[in-house]
Chains A and B, each alone.
Chain A
Amino acid sequence: MSSDRLGASIVLCLAVAAALPLRASAGEAARLAKTWRTMDEVSAEEKKQLDSRAETPRDSRFPYLPAERYPFEPPFTAEEIGIRSADFIHVSRWSHAIYDAFGLLTGGGYLHEAAAVGLVNYVAEPGLAGELFQIAPGDVSTRMLMYYVFPPETDGAEDLYVVHRTDAERTKKIDYFTYAPSLRRVRRQPEPRRGERFPNAVQSFDDIIGRAPWEFAWRFVGADVLYETVRFPNTRATITLANAAREFREVPTGSLKMMGNDYPYYRPDGGVDCWVLEAKTRTDWLPGYPLTKILYWLDRHSFYPLRIEQYDQQGELQVVEVRLARQENPALGERGYAALITIYFDPKLDMTSYSVHDAHTVREWTDQDREVVFSPDFMRRGWLVQPLKSQALVRSPDQFYLRPMLDREKFPNERKVALTPEVQARVAAQEAAGHVVFETQQAASAAASP
C-alpha cells in the first residue's frame, strides 16, 4: 500500500471512529430515556382514544362479545382493542401462500431449522370480521397445509390443520393430519395441547393458530414507545428476502423497520407508540391453561402486536415474542399487516425460536383448490402446488437473531422477570458483543467487562 493510500485509510478510519459515538448516542438517547408510562401517567388527551369501562353492553347472539359491532368506534375499551389485535395472529387472516423458515437456537449453540411452504385457505371474508360474522362456533374457519422442504429428514412431510372457531361449548380447535413420506401414510393426530410449546421450539400451538380474545379479561396497563423488536446480530449485515413474484433481494438488516417502510405513524426518532394491555386468562374458559396472563404491546393505530409477553402459573415471564411486520395485503388497509419475522425467547430455558414468513403471496384459491388441495387425502400425493423458494434460513448459529430486549425496568409492578445467573451472563455477553455468545467462559468474561 502506498503511503498516500495508507494516510487516506487512517483519515477514513478516524472519521468513522469519530462519527460512531455520535450516531450511537442518538440511538442510545432514545433508548435510555424512560419510554413507558403507567395509565396514571398517560395524558388526558391521549386517553380520549380509550374507554376505561370494564363492563359494556353485550352482543345478544354472542354474549362474550361487546354489543358494539367490530371493528368498533373510538373510544375503545381494553376488550375492544384486544379483539382488534386478534386480527393479527401469526398466520394472517386471509388466503395466502408463504415460505415459512423457522428454527431454534439454544444458549449453547445448538441450531435446528426447518422450512415449509404454507398454503392457507381462510374460509370466510378476510380479517377477523369474517370469522366473527360468517363462521358459526364449531365450524371451520381456516385450512392450512404445510409442505416441509427442510431439513432433509422431513423433506416431503406434510401437515394439515383444519381450524375451527371455538366457544365455551365447542372447544375443539383443530383437526390435525400428518403425512410422513417414511410411513407413506396420512394419519389423523390428536390436536396439540393449547399453550404447550411444540417440541424443538419455544412457540406453542396457540402462538401459531392464535387465541380467541374472549378467553381473556383485558385491562390497560400503560403506554410505551418501542424502538426495537426483532434484532439482527452484527455478524449478519443483510438478509435475502423473496417477494410474491419469486424475486430475491438482498436487504440490509439495519434497514428493516418494525412495521415496514410504509407505516405512516413512526415517531420522528423512529419509535412506534404502543398501548400496553394485559390479557388475563379466564379460567372459566381455559381451565388449567399454562399461562396466567399475557402482556401486549400494540401499535396505537392498527393495534398490531409488536411485543407479547407470556407469564406462567407462577406469574414469571415465560416467553417473549417480538415481531417485525410489514404491509402484505394493501387491499385490507391497516388490517393488512403481517409478521415478516417473529422471534420467541424462553428466558428460563434460554431458547430462542424464529419464524420468517417469506415470499408472502396473497391468493384467491379456486373452488378446485379449496376442495382438493386442503383435504387430508391430498397429502399422500406429495404435490407441492405452490413451489415457493426462500433463502431466509439462518444456516449458522453465529448469525442467529439476538434474544429480544428484556427491558426489566419497564412496568416493574406488572412484570416478573427471573433469570438464572448463567442466562443473565449470556444475555449481557450478547449485548456487549452484538451477537449471540455461546461459550460460558467467554460470556462470563464479556459480562464482567465494563
Chain B
Amino acid sequence: MSRKLRRASLREIGLAFGLAAALASPCFGGVAGDTWSRFDRFLATFDPAGHYLREPIEKRVPALVFKGFLRQWSDVLLTEDRQAGFRDKDFRFLQLQNLLESELHYFLTPNVEITNVNHLLYDGVYDWQSSRGLFAPRVSQSARAYQDFERIVRELYVSYRSYAFDLVLGKQQVAWGKMDGQFIDIVNPMDRRESVQLETSDYEYRRLPTWMANFTYFFGKNSIQLLYVPNFEQDRLAPPGSPWYPPSVPPSDSEVRDRLAGRLPPSGDIVLDRRKPEMGDFGDHEGGVRIDLSMEPVTWGLIYFSGWDDNPTHYIVDRRVENGLTRLVVEPRHKRLHHLGMTGDYATSFSAVPVIGTLPTVLRVEALYTRDVPFADSARRDAAEQGALDDGVVERDTLRAAVALELALPANTTLLFQPSAYYTFGHRDTLGVGFGGAYLDEWNLVPVFYIARPVLFTSDRLRVSFTAYPILSGPRTDFQGVKTKLIAGYTFSQFIVGKLIYTAYGGGKNVDLYGQYDKWDNIGWELSYEF
C-alpha cells in the first residue's frame, strides 16, 4: 500500500472510530448531554415491530412465538487499487447486505413444536456502485438476493421433547463443538461468500440448513445424539465476480466476463457437471453420532460423522486433443469422508496471581481427524496431460485441532489465546487444498489472540475488542499473513445494537491465505434491530 493511501486509510479509520467515540459519549454535560438523554429515552422504548407486529400476532395466536430482526451490514474497502491479482478491484463496497429474519415457533402441545425461520437477503453491492469487477449475479443470483425456497425458508422442522429424548425432523442446522472457528462443526455446509472474513459470529446466518432427522437421548448428565441426513448440500464459495473471490485464482475477471458473454471460446479444462449425492439414493445419505459426557469439573464429547466433502474435487476422467491443444476432462465429485472428533473443557481459578489476584480460567480443546481426504495433485495432473492414466487426485489424512485458554481479567476484560493447528499427513508440495488440512503446506499454526472489554465511562454500552489471526506455516512457507480485527460495539438500546469493524490483512505472499487479500483492508458497520 502506498504511503498516501496508508495515510488516507488511517484518516478514515480515525474518523470512523472518532464517530464511535462520539456515539459512545453519553456523559456530555449541558445541552448536548440533555439532547443525548432525550434520544436515549426515546430509543429505550423504540420497538415498532415489537409493538405493531410481534405483540398483536402473539395476542391473536397464543400458541405462537414470533420474533425476528432486521440487520444491515456494510463493509468499505480502504484502498483504491484497481487491480489485485486476477481481480478487477474497481469497487469500494464489499457488502451492503440487508437481512430480514422472521422466526416462528408454534406449540401444538407443550411438547410438540413447529419451528420456521425465514431469511430475506438483499446485497446492494452489485447495484449501488458502478463496477466491472462485480458480476457475480450472472453466476449465482443468490449472491445478490435470496430468491428460492432453499435460501428463503432456512429452517422448517417439527420437534418433540420428553425428559428422555428429543426428536427433531425437518430442515435444520446443527452446530457441534465449543470453539471459535470450525473444528468439529461439520454437519451443515456454509455460505462462504465472505471467504476469509467469515467469522464465528456469522455462522448462525451463513450455515446452510439441511433436511435431517435429529434424535438425542439423555441419560443423567450425559447424552447421545444420532443424525441421519438424506439431503446433501455443498458449501457455497464466493462466486467469480463477487467481492471476496480470491485474487490469486486465475483466470482474470475480464476473461471470465468474456466467457460468460460468449465472446471467448472455451479453453482450459472441460468441466463436466458436478456429480452430486442424491437424496433418493440411500447409499448417498449422511449420518453421525455425538456423545456428550459431564464429569465435573470436565465436560467432554466424541463425534463421528460420515458425510460428503462439502466441496467437490476435480477428478480427471479423460483427455482430449483439439486443434493441437490438450484439454483435460474433469468431473467435480464429492468424496465421502469419515470424521472422528473430540471436544472437552475444564475450568479452574488460580488464586494469588500477582497484580490481578484471582484468575478464573477455562481450557477448551477440540480436534477432528479425517480419513482419506482428496487433494488435487499438480504432479499427477502434469502426468495426465502427458497421457498417463491418472485422475490427478491423491488422498491424505488430515487433522485440525485447537486449544483455547480463556482468562477472566479485571474490569470485565476477557482474554483468549487459541492456537489452532492444521496438518496434512504425507504432504508433498504438489498438493492443493483439502478438507481439514493445512493451506498449501504441510502444517499451519494459527495462534489466535483475542481481548475484549466494556468501556466503563459509557456505562458498558461500548465494548471494544481486538483479534489477531496470524498464520504460520511449514516447511515450505513461513508466514501466510495476518488478519487483525478491531471492533467497537455499541448498545443503542435493548433492541438496537451497532458495530464498527476495522479489518486488515497484512504480510504473506500474494498466493497465501491472508497474503492475497492485503489490499482488502476494510471498515464496516453493522446495525441490528431485533424484535
* Chain A 151-178 interface 0/1 with B at a Cβ cutoff of 8 Å (1 = within): 1110100000010000000011001100
Stretch with Cβ within 8 A of A (4 or more), from B214-222, B310-318, B333-341, B394-402: B214-222
In the complex with contacts A152-B531, A371-B221, A372-B163, A176-B347 CB distance below 8 A: yes
* Chain A 90-114 interface 0/1 with B at a Cβ cutoff of 8 Å (1 = within): 0000000000000010101111111
In the complex with contacts A108-B40, A288-B357, A397-B44, A182-B362 CB distance below 8 A: no
Please give, as numbers and ranges, the residues of chain B lying within 8 Å of A162 by CB-CB distance.
296
Give bound CA distance, A162 to B298, whole Å: 13
Stretch with Cβ within 8 A of B (4 or more), from A16-24, A323-331, A434-442: A434-442
Evaluate contact between B33 and A377: CB separation under 8 angstroms.
no
Give bound CA distance, A185 to B207, whole Å: 14
Interface residues of B in 493-512 (CB under 8 A from A): 493-495, 497
Shortest beta-carbon distance, B360 to chain A, in Å? 4
Interface residues of B in 145-166 (CB under 8 A from A): 161, 163, 166
In the complex with contacts A109-B44, A152-B67, A351-B459, A440-B294 CB distance below 8 A: no
In the complex with contacts A112-B494, A189-B362, A375-B294, A441-B349 CB distance below 8 A: no
In the complex with contacts A172-B348, A372-B163, A440-B34, A190-B459 CB distance below 8 A: no
Give bound CA distance, A297 to B26, whole Å: 34
Evaluate contact between B347 and A440: CB separation under 8 angstroms.
no
Interface residues of B in 6-54 (CB under 8 A from A): 26-27, 29-31, 33-34, 36-38, 40-41, 44-45, 50
Of B33, B216, B407, B412, which one neighbours A196 at CB under 8 angstroms? Answer: B412
In the complex with contacts A110-B461, A111-B44, A182-B201, A190-B37 CB distance below 8 A: no
Please give, as numbers and ranges, the residues of chain B lying within 8 Å of A152 by CB-CB distance.
50, 67, 69, 495, 530-531
In the complex with contacts A152-B67, A183-B200, A377-B358 CB distance below 8 A: no
Evaluate contact between B45 and A396: CB separation under 8 angstroms.
yes
- Whether, in the assembled complex, A376 has its beta carbon less than 8 Å from a beta carbon of chain B, the answer is yes
Please give, as numbers and ranges, the residues of chain A lying within 8 Å of B460 by CB-CB distance.
199-200
- Whether, in the assembled complex, A31 has its beta carbon less than 8 Å from a beta carbon of chain B, the answer is no
- Whether, in the assembled complex, A271 has its beta carbon less than 8 Å from a beta carbon of chain B, the answer is no
Please give, as numbers and ranges, the residues of chain A lying within 8 Å of B38 by CB-CB distance.
109, 439
Stretch with Cβ within 8 A of A (4 or more), from B88-96, B170-178, B242-250, B370-378: B170-178
- Whether, in the assembled complex, A312 has its beta carbon less than 8 Å from a beta carbon of chain B, the answer is no
Closest to B301 in A: A377
Give bound CA distance, A61 to B71, whole Å: 59
- Whether, in the assembled complex, A298 has its beta carbon less than 8 Å from a beta carbon of chain B, the answer is no
- Whether, in the assembled complex, B280 has its beta carbon less than 8 Å from a beta carbon of chain A, the answer is no
- Whether, in the assembled complex, B299 has its beta carbon less than 8 Å from a beta carbon of chain A, the answer is yes
Evaluate contact between A193 and B44: CB separation under 8 angstroms.
no
Closest to A150 in B: B494
- Whether, in the assembled complex, B385 has its beta carbon less than 8 Å from a beta carbon of chain A, the answer is no
Shortest beta-carbon distance, B217 to chain A, in Å? 11
Give bound CA distance, A422 to B346, whole Å: 46
In the complex with contacts A192-B408, A397-B41, A153-B292 CB distance below 8 A: no
Give bound CA distance, A351 to B458, whole Å: 11
Please give, as numbers and ranges, the residues of chain B lying within 8 Å of A287 by CB-CB distance.
351-352, 357
Please give, as numbers and ranges, the residues of chain A lying within 8 Å of B34 by CB-CB distance.
438-442
Give bound CA distance, A368 to B219, whole Å: 10
Please give, as numbers and ranges, the residues of chain A lying within 8 Å of B161 by CB-CB distance.
381, 383
Evaluate contact between A395 and B358: CB separation under 8 angstroms.
no
Evaluate contact between A375 and B221: CB separation under 8 angstroms.
yes
Of B44, B178, B349, which one neighbours A188 at CB under 8 angstroms? Answer: B178
Evaluate contact between A171 and B294: CB separation under 8 angstroms.
no
* Chain A 181-205 interface 0/1 with B at a Cβ cutoff of 8 Å (1 = within): 1111111111111101011100000
Evaluate contact between B29 and A349: CB separation under 8 angstroms.
no
Closest to A114 in B: B494
Evaluate contact between B296 and A175: CB separation under 8 angstroms.
yes
Please give, as numbers and ranges, the residues of chain A lying within 8 Å of B223 by CB-CB distance.
377
* Chain A 109-122 interface 0/1 with B at a Cβ cutoff of 8 Å (1 = within): 11111100000000
- Whether, in the assembled complex, A215 has its beta carbon less than 8 Å from a beta carbon of chain B, the answer is no
Please give, as numbers and ranges, the residues of chain B lying within 8 Å of A125 by CB-CB distance.
none
Shortest beta-carbon distance, A95 to chain B, in Å? 17
Please give, as numbers and ranges, the residues of chain A lying within 8 Å of B410 by CB-CB distance.
193, 196
- Whether, in the assembled complex, B81 has its beta carbon less than 8 Å from a beta carbon of chain A, the answer is no
- Whether, in the assembled complex, B297 has its beta carbon less than 8 Å from a beta carbon of chain A, the answer is yes
Interface residues of A in 397-450 (CB under 8 A from B): 397-398, 422, 438-442
Please give, as numbers and ranges, the residues of chain A lying within 8 Å of B36 by CB-CB distance.
108
Give bound CA distance, A383 to B162, whole Å: 10
Interface centre among A108, A191, A397, A442 (most CB of B within 10 A): A108
24 pairs, A vs B, C-beta closer than 8 Å: A109-B40, A111-B44, A112-B491, A152-B531, A171-B358, A175-B347, A183-B203, A184-B174, A184-B204, A185-B178, A188-B178, A189-B362, A189-B408, A192-B360, A192-B408, A196-B411, A199-B454, A200-B491, A371-B220, A381-B166, A381-B216, A395-B45, A397-B40, A439-B34
A interface vs B, CB < 8 Å? 104, 106, 108-114, 140, 150-153, 155, 162, 171-172, 175-176, 181-194, 196, 198-200, 287-289, 349, 351, 368, 371-372, 375-378, 381, 383, 395-398, 422, 438-442
- Supplied contacts A110-B44, A191-B360, 7 more A-B pairs, CB within 8 Å: A151-B494, A153-B528, A191-B408, A288-B356, A351-B459, A377-B294, A383-B161
